[in-house]
Structure 1
Amino acid sequence: MDFRHLGSSGLIVSRIAYGNWLTRSSSTGEETELACVRAALDAGITTFDTADVYADTRAEEALGRALKGERRESLEILTKVFAPVGPGRNDQGLSRKHIRESIDNSLRRLGTDHVDVYQAHRFDPSTPLEETMEALADVVHCGKAHYIGVSEWTADQIRRGHALARELKVSLVSNQPQYSALWRVPEVEVMPACEELGVGQIVWSPLAQGVLTGKYPPGGQRPEGSRATEANDGSAELSAWLTDDVLGRVRQLRPIAAEAGLTVAQLSLAWVLQNPGVCAAVVGASRPEQITDNAKAADVELDGDVMDRIDAVLGPVAHRDPAATAAMNPPSPDWRLA
């Protein structure tokens, strides 16, 4: 396993991070989750990413049980706050009330007294940014998190949040955007802003919901048990990629991967990690062997010719519109009242 500092901070993370966001009773059960976490540890992965909302809070609980007994100082545990975790109006968002309550609940579920990075899962236009950043700073100052991060914030939001964090004497060290060879949206505005500020990228969906593993044939049946056949596990997000044009182009990656001695998934992960701003790529798994195989991409370096060939194949169907980042956040300040 290869490692890198997270942005300009002193925190070191594994280039492949394990994410358990797809833990669901309909897909990944507790026994499989334990096996996947064990495979991650065996592969040298030390960075584990989750969120309070994943699997209706059960993902944090499962991760906590899976990591029980491991040396806490040898792990980097990241979780997030924002999405609804209850029926109340204040069970969501980035208010002081919700942040202070959520960190305590997350720590209880994870079975630890602190997380390494506490992340704002989305931007909350219904709460003054000053209130949000002050609450996140309080979490750090009272020892419940070492650093703070954000996910799917725009470049302007990251700049404003970073400036407030510096005033409050806390470190905003990470951004967690969607990023893959098919989703290159952050390259336009977000990544340049983060590079300037010393904010590292811990990217999610580096395999485009599994499309960049090459397992989905163009015009063919969806593999049994795959995410494309499970409505609760991301098939809606997959729909944009499940076209014959996209899937046919992904098939063209096979000879490129074979020449490099890699699987298509390993090639796709190596492409993501080649971006100097990407500190870690978050991968999930429904089987432990997937983690073992994907972890091998951590120390792969692709030469310029291979990168050019990948871009030539996937570039015409890659998403790049920076407006897509803003679209992932609530559209107006009254979103919680709707």
Structure 2
Amino acid sequence: MSIAETSTQDTLREHTTLRLGGPARRFVTAASADELVNTVRDLDADGEPTLLLGGGSNLVVADEGFPGTVVRIASKGWSGTSVEAGQDWDEFVAATVEKGYGGLECLSGIPGAAGATPIQNVGAYGCEISEVLDSIELFDRRTGEVAAVRADELGFAYRTSVLKGTENGVVLRVRFALSEDGLSAPIRYAELARTLGVDVGARVPAREAREAVLALRRGKGMVLDATDHDTWSAGSFFTNPIVDPANVDVVLARIGEVVGGDVRVPRYPAEHGVKLSAAWLIERAGFGKGYRGKTGSVSLSTKHTLALTNRGGASTAELLALAREVRDGVADRFGVVLRPEPLLINCAL
């Protein structure tokens, strides 16, 4: 293989934003798209279990680690609106804003690598990757071929795509369709609009929108900072639950009975139902900001209820125990089941 192999003494805790995870049998690094394709082909031919690792921001890895080879995707750089899969996402977003492109500014500050963004249809502050993606270059492990795949072929939905939960495709490059007038996409998120002092739907200079988003994310512990344990997380741990339209009235009635009074449950239209606020449900199920697990080594963020955090010296088992406590507490109180957003590697919730 034309790859750089690293020490088998590494653990995944050193390569994930949660700073959790045990050892792998081997770590290798692919520094270009070609190296990545050749590496995965060789590993597949050998029947070796493979974990593709970008920025490690959306992974929960077992304390036992991964019984195979971890391939670190280290392809860097961009040209115009096309970016290599291993490129740090926020560096690329900053570069597009600096060059006068608009469309990615509301996705500022999200940790991880560019290649992961279409897999889970990353979204924040009223913008999703599906809305600005042109195409990806994909290595299909089933056929051994590399091909361009259009955005409309990726089966995008809320925080998912046809690529999520499968190992069939390896993203090599991502190409975006961005405006060139230096203005943001229409501001759809009410909190961001208030911060910017504009009406929902307005467009502003992309640079201003990016700065506002970064400020909001920092206030919620969602911009990586090694000194701030609130950022030792995988971002939002649970997705906002989507309730079938036929069940919405029943669910809302139960929530109203539990909470009491004429309560207004935050809800938003979704493609296949009504989206409820996971953070709202978590807080009203008795899990406030900073709620600690039984050992004290993990907690909900002190700034953002949706983030489960490592307070230092934690284990994945402790994090998952807290996640189960929160999930089961919401289900018992409101009858709504929360689903994890990160990928769970060699472990389960």
**TM-score normalised by L of structure 2:** 0.28
More helix per residue: 1 or 2? 1
Higher Rg of the two aligned structures: 2
More strand per residue: 1 or 2? 2
Greater RCO, 1 or 2 (C-alpha within 8 Å, sep 6+): 1
**TM-score normalised by L of structure 1:** 0.28
